[in-house]
Amino acid sequence: MKISFIIPRWPKNSFWDVIAFKFPLLSSSLLAGLTPSHYQFRIIDESLAEIDFDQEVDLVAITAITPLAPRGYEIADEFRRRGKKVVVGGIHASWLPEEAKAHSDSVAIGEADEVWSEILEDAEKGTMKPFYRQKERTDLSRLPIPRRDLFPTRGYLFHNLVQTTRGCPYDCEFCSVTALHGRSYRMRPVSEVEKEIQSLERSKAYIFFVDDNLVGNLSHAKELLTMLSHYRLRWVSQGPIHIAEDKEMVSLMAKAGCHGLFIGFESLREENLNLMGKRINRIEAYENGIQRLHDAGIGVYGSFVFGYDYDDPSVFDDFLEFAERNRMEGAFLPLLTPFPGTRIYQRLKQEARLLTEDWSKYDMATVVFQPKRMTVEELQEGFWKVNRFFYSLPSMLKRVFNPFHIKRSLIIFGPMNLGLWPAVKKAEQHFRKSIRQPLL
C-alpha cells in the first residue's frame, strides 16, 4: 500500500509563506517510523513541492493547523474526487472532527502514534472507521526514530528535530498545547533520546528540541542536559523565563550546547498575564532573566502576544523599547488568535467578540476579534508596525550585530534576522494589496 502524508501550504505571499526559514513536521517522520516496511511512505510538504493529484497512492494522510485547514480540505476533496481514501488529523481536526469528516473518509482525533497501525490495517481492508481516537495518551518510551531520510534535502532550516517531552504543565488561556493535551506533561526516557541523538546522519551541529517546555520537570531536564553535555552539540529549544533564576540549570544548558531559548514572555502588562493564567511570569524579573541567559551565551527568542484585553496602542512602542534595551536576538510577535478548542476562543465567542470563523484568517497576522482597548484597525496596524520595526536594520544592529556584544548565538540568530527583514516587508505589502489598504 502506498501512503502520502501531505502538509498544506500557506497562501502564497502571506506572512508565513514568505518566511525563509521553514521547519519539517516532526509528526510526519514519526508516523513514517511507525509504518511497517512493506508499506511505501512519502512526505509531501506543499510549501516546498507541488502536489501531484494524479499520483499512485492508496491512502492520503493530511494534517493541518487551523489557518491551513481550508487548504487541507481542498486537497482532501481533490483526492477523494479521484477515488482516493483520505484520513485527516492534526490539531484543528481534533478540535472540529465533524467539520474535518465532511472532507475525509476518516478523522484521527488527538495523538495518533498508537492508533496509526489500526488506521493502516483498516485502510488496506477497506473498512476505515469515521473516527479514530487513542484510548490513552502516547507512551513516549515507545516512540520510533523519526524517518528524517524522507525529508527534502533542501528547504528546511533544521532537519534535526527531536522531542524529549510532550505537553506543558501550565494552563494558559490562549494555548493550543494545553487545549490538546490538558495539563499533562510526559517525559521520554533520556536513554531513548540519546539513541536518537546518536542516530542523526546529517550534521549534529544544530538540533531543535521541539518540546513546548524542555525544563518542565527539573529532574528529567538535568538528566537530559547532563547526557547532552557529553556530545558536541549546538541546539535551541523552548522554556520559561523563570528558569534563568536557576543558576545550575542555566549553567547546565550552556554546557550542553544551548544557543537559544524560545521564551513565552507573552505580555508586558501584568493584568494580561493574570487574564491569560500565566501568573508564573513576573515582568519585574524579565530583564534580569534575559541578562543571565546572555551571560551564559544563550540567545533569547521571545514570544509576545498582542491584542489581549489590557493592551492599548502604546503596547507596541513599549515592546520595541524593551526588546532593543535588552538586545533580544529574535521574537515571535503574533496577534492574539483564538483558536477553536482554547479557552480564549470560548470566552470571546461568549462575549460576541469574534469577527469571523473563516479559519484561513486565523493566521496570527490578521485581527479576527474585537479588541477591548483599541480598534481593530489600531491592532492590525500595530502588528505590522512592531514586526516591521523589530526586523529593521537599525533594530538588528542594536540587538544582534552590535560589535561590542558578539555572542555565539549569532550563528543562528544572525541569518534568521536577515531573512526576516525582507520577508516582513513583502508580507505586509501583500496583506495591504489583498485588502486594498495603503502602506502607512
Q: pLDDT (tens digit, 9 = 90+) per residue, 57-85?
A: 999 999 999 999 999 999 999 999 999 99
Instruction: Count Cβ atoms within 10 A of the Cβ of residue 100 and give its class: 0-12 exposed, 13-18 middle, 19 or more buried.
Output: buried
Tell me, what DSSP letter sits at residue 285?
Answer: G
Strand, coil or helix: 132: strand
Domain boundaries, the chain: 2-133, 158-435
pLDDT number for residue 179 = 61
- Residue 182's pLDDT band, with cuts at 50, 70 and 90, is low
- By DSSP bridging, strand 161-162 and strand 330-332 are unpaired
* Mean pLDDT (whole number) for 233-262: 95
- Residue 439's pLDDT band, with cuts at 50, 70 and 90, is very low
The phi, psi pair for 52, rounded to 5°, reads: -95, 105
Give, in order, the Cα–Cα distances in Å from 121 to each of 35, 43, 75, 86, 353: 11, 20, 23, 14, 45
pLDDT > 70? residue 405? no
Q: Which CATH class is domain 2-133?
A: alpha beta
Q: Residue 426 contacts by C-beta under 8 Å, 6 or more apart in sequence?
A: 13, 18
Mean pLDDT, the chain, whole residue set: 92
Q: How confident is the model over 18-58, as pLDDT tens digits? A: 776 788 999 999 999 999 999 999 999 999 999 999 999 99
- Kindly report the pTM of this predicted structure: 0.92
CA 362 from centre of chain: 14
CA–CA separation, 222 and 184 (whole Å): 20
pLDDT number for residue 202 = 57
SS3 content of the chain, % helix, strand, coil (to 5): 40, 15, 45
pLDDT number for residue 181 = 67
State whether CATH 3.60.15.10 applies to domain 158-435: no
